[in-house]
Amino acid sequence: MEKLLDIRNLRTYFYTEDGVVPAVDGVSFYIKPGETLGVVGESGCGKSVTSISTLRLVPNPPGKIMEGSEIIFEGTDLLKLSEAEMRKIRGNKISMIFQEPMTSLNPVFRIGDQIAEVLLLHQGLNKAEAREKAIEMLKLVGIPRPEKVVDDYPHSLSGGMRQRVMIAMALACNPRLLIADEPTTALDVTVQAQILDLMNDLKKKVNAAVMLITHNLGVVAESCDRVVVMYAGKVVEEGDVYSIFEDPKHPYTVGLLKSMPSAVGGQDKLDSIPGVVPNPLNLPKGCRFAPRCNKAMDICREKQPGLTVLGEERTVRCFLYNREDGVK
């Protein structure tokens, strides 16, 4: 199957007074049409920067997408398009659900006007048609009394309802790719489940691919087809969701899964990964996970491991599996 989105060697750096921060450092992965890809990792690993880089929303300065990066969408490198050409893609072919709906929705505009704006811009509808479509989208995402809510302001809605509005806005133009950045953060568990079910249903209806960015592995297990695990700006493991959960290879992925609460019970206490994420201004010389890894070898502290292919669509960045260095 062809690749809808193919990110190749993406490097997004931030230039600060203290030095250069390689927030995303050589990240490569792809998404096929109609599938859901989970991008997971601890806070600060580069997940959200990868998503805003895809839409070319990185503030410059201080951020910059470096030379040699490629973001291929439907056969076109988005990094070579003009800003005017990118505006035709954002919210139309690629939409994004941002992490915090209260800061993403404009508090001084009515809900319906904010949804209608993307329809007026990309679909060529008049105001009356855009309003009807906005009501239709609110109904589609399960908001009660959409004819009234369309005239409400964001502050009058709960967090879960605002998140549904964000999803309605993102799906209004039937995008080919939906980027969801922590779409269930700060929502209670029952609302989280509703939002995930809603996204899965709508994905099937509009046949969109989804890039789901999260640190919640339970969400990934329930919603995703494939998983990319990131650590300190790099992809450390990639594979289908079943393989990652049943047979994780990278010590970091193993640590993440062991730190999950078990639904079955029987755990006295949760495991944790020792240490902290390295300072991006002072990254380790070798493998970035080596200072926290219980399987680290001398070579791990001296050289950065490359990606090793373990099978079809399965890769890992670890010297335990790097046969070129004669280890295992």
Q: Are 41 and 108 in contact (CB under 8 A)?
A: no
Return the CA Rg of the chain: 21
Domain match, 10 and 27 both: yes
What pLDDT score was predicted for residue 322? Answer: 72
Q: Are 134 and 148 in contact (CB under 8 A)?
A: no
What pLDDT score was predicted for residue 102? Answer: 66
List 229's β-bridge partners, or say none. 40, 237
Averaged over successive runs of 10 residues, the pLDDT of the chain (328 residues) comes to 90 93 94 92 89 92 92 94 92 84 82 90 87 89 89 88 85 87 75 77 80 87 92 94 93 89 60 86 91 91 90 89 54
- The model carries a pTM of 0.87
Q: Are 26 and 234 in contact (CB under 8 A)?
A: yes
Domain match, 232 and 273 both: yes
Domain match, 179 and 265 both: yes
Q: Which of 148, 172, 196 is the last residue of a domain?
A: 172
Domain match, 163 and 255 both: no
Tell me how many domains the chain contains.
Answer: 2
What pLDDT score was predicted for residue 326? Answer: 37
Domain match, 183 and 251 both: yes
Q: Tens digits of per-residue pLDDT, 83-116? A: 999 998 988 899 888 877 667 788 899 999 999 9
Domain match, 200 and 84 both: yes
Domain match, 246 and 151 both: no
Domain match, 76 and 205 both: yes
What pLDDT score was predicted for residue 328? Answer: 37
What pLDDT score was predicted for residue 327? Answer: 39
Helix axes 159-171, 111-122, angle to 10 degrees: 10
Q: Which residues contact 52 (CB under 8 A, 6 or more apart)?
A: 58
Q: Which of 146, 172, 198 is the last residue of a domain?
A: 172
One-letter amino acid of 119: L
What pLDDT score was predicted for residue 84? Answer: 92
Domain match, 157 and 10 both: no
What pLDDT score was predicted for residue 272? Answer: 82
One-letter amino acid of 21: V
- Measured distance CA(310)–CA(313) in Å, rounded: 8
Domain match, 180 and 73 both: yes
What pLDDT score was predicted for residue 111? Answer: 93
Domain match, 224 and 82 both: yes
Question: Which residue segment(s) compose the domain that 127 sits in?
Answer: 94-172
Q: Which of 157, 172, 187 is the last residue of a domain?
A: 172
Domain match, 37 and 145 both: no
| CATH number of the domain that residue 202 is part of | 3.40.50.300
- Measured distance CA(236)–CA(305) in Å, rounded: 9
What pLDDT score was predicted for residue 324? Answer: 55
